[in-house]
Amino acid sequence: MNHRMFAGALAACMVSAAMPALAAATSGQCDGLPRLDVTTPPGFCVAVLADGLKFPRGVLPLTNGDILVTDMAGWTPNQGKLWLLQRKAAGSGYARKLLLDKLDRPNGIVQGPDGMVYVGVVGRIFRFDLRDPARAITDVIGGTAKAPPLPGLGLHLLTTMRFGPKGDLYVNVGSNTDHCEVDGKAPDPAKPCASAEGADALGAIREYKMAWPAGTVTSWRTHARGLRNSMALAFHPATGDLWQAENARDAIQAAMPQLKNDENLPHEELNVIKADQHYGWPYCYDDNVASPEYPKTACAAKYVAPRRLLPGHAAPLGMTFYTASRYPELYKNSLIIGYHGYRSNGHRLVALLPDKAGAPLGKAVELIGNWERKGKQGRGAPVDVKQGQDGDIYMADDHNGLVLKLHYAAPAKP
């Protein structure tokens, strides 16, 4: 769909939609909104901002208190939507307005240095201006843009992106396989994984150099590789380093039956991404251990090891560094990360506290737990995680169709 078709769809779809009755398990109030029935540290609560969405993935809190939400509506192509949640007067909840329809599995959503809103769909990224959205939709990558389309292939085709401190755009290009299998069969251990190597490598992060204020791509390259699926990306507020939470491989039990009942292996990873480095997928897993399909790989000599191992199969899909002052000082510059996974280590939100050097390698504190099945509500499944202007953390739960925020009600320490 070109940008003119998008504009037409936008004009046709800017209609308000009534919020359906809550299906979430709630108990009491949180910041004047229904309070989700979960466990949080003292002073915290989780507010339900929107319910009844089909498959919400990305959230973008705006400076005026409104929230943009990408809703994939499922895995069928061209069924996705972009919603605007508008805060009602006197804090009485949110009205929902449909901005865009027929999007191809929209996922990532960020605000650029130009103030424009950037949305990632399969194979492309476009932007628009909220001040005049019907006339201001432009392709940035793919579509009518000069920058070629994103691959959008196989198992990990969704688009996630973040702007770096210098205004360049970093985009996840997920792998099209789990461990470079071919038609379900193990790869040849004597040959490199073809899809993971070369200029157009999958399982990589791309760097797009941007021209401002035009917001156009001047050049791009593969920034780092050996990363199976980089859905969770965040820049450190002090160092500017790009941190990545790796969704590590599955299906290892086929080659290592002894791991059949072990939910902690393989671990997910937390990596610091440096230009032109290789982080080991699919040749290695965990702390640079050779994969069973590539048993003779000298992982420690060839590839960058993770900075931290995360719980196995936790599926980190969104994270952000906490830089506001609403939460207690303990959480300042911590990395707040959502575990989307359906196994025992998933369905929670955690804060990785900074160590003495400021890196998120300190204690892990559970911010949302007991996020289990309750009535019609399934286990929690946080996807995008972002900090709002009010200092609270906003997130989407695609399993339950919710938009939530982690609110701190107790007074912050001076």
Backbone angles phi, psi at 330, to 5 degrees: -50, -35
In this prediction, the residues of the chain whose per-residue pLDDT falls under 70 are 1-23, 90-91, 133-134, 261, 411-414
Residue 107 in contact with residue 159, Cβ under 8 Å? yes
> CA–CA separation, 81 vs 55, rounded Å?
10
Cis check: omega of the bond before 311, within 30 degrees of 0: no
Percent of the chain as helix, strand, coil, to the nearest 5: 10, 40, 55
> CA–CA separation, 145 vs 139, rounded Å?
5
Predicted pLDDT of residue 165: 97
Backbone angles phi, psi at 6, to 5 degrees: -60, -45
Predicted pLDDT of residue 15: 36
Predicted pLDDT of residue 239: 97
Predicted pLDDT of residue 24: 84
CA distances from 210 to 113, 116, 169, 170, 225 (A): 10, 14, 7, 10, 21
Predicted pLDDT of residue 20: 43
CA distances from 114 to 118, 210, 242, 343 (A): 10, 11, 21, 40
Predicted pLDDT of residue 91: 62
> CA–CA separation, 352 vs 308, rounded Å?
10
Neighbouring C-alpha atoms within 13 Å toward the C-beta of 404? 33
- CA-angle at 406, arms to 401 and 407, nearest 5°: 135
Q: What is the DSSP string of 290-304?
A: EPTTSTT--HHHHSP
For the beta carbon of residue 298, count every other beta carbon within 10 angstroms.
11
Q: Name the β-bridge partners of 308.
A: 270
Dig out the tokens for 201 from the structure: 């490598």
Residue 271 in contact with residue 307, Cβ under 8 Å? yes
CA dihedral 284, 288, 292, 298 (to 10 degrees): 90
Hey, where are the domains in the chain? 3-408
Q: Residue 411: is it exposed, middle or buried by C-beta count within 10 angstroms (0-12/13-18/19+)?
A: exposed
The superfamily (CATH) of domain 3-408 is TolB, C-terminal domain (2.120.10.30)
For the beta carbon of residue 129, count every other beta carbon within 10 angstroms.
15
Backbone angles phi, psi at 92, to 5 degrees: -100, 35
Give the closest residue to 128 by CA, choosing from 120, 119, 137, 140.
137
Neighbouring C-alpha atoms within 13 Å toward the C-beta of 86? 13
> CA–CA separation, 350 vs 361, rounded Å?
13
Sign of the alpha-carbon dihedral angle for 389, 392, 393, 396: negative
Predicted pLDDT of residue 413: 53
Residue 375 in contact with residue 358, Cβ under 8 Å? no
According to the 3-state scheme, what is the secondary structure of 200-261? CCCCEEEEEEEECCCCEEEEEEEEEECCCCCCEEEECCCCCCEEEEECCCCCHHHCCHHHCC
> CA–CA separation, 156 vs 176, rounded Å?
6
Residue 160 — left, alpha, or beta (φ > 0 → left; ψ -120 to 50 → alpha)?
Answer: beta
Give the closest residue to 181 by CA, choosing from 230, 259, 254.
254
Dig out the tokens for 78 from the structure: 């061209």
Give the closest residue to 222 by CA, choosing from 212, 211, 208.
208
Predicted pLDDT of residue 138: 94
SS3 135: helix
Q: What is the DSSP string of 357-385?
A: TSSS-S-EEEEEB----BTTB----EEEE
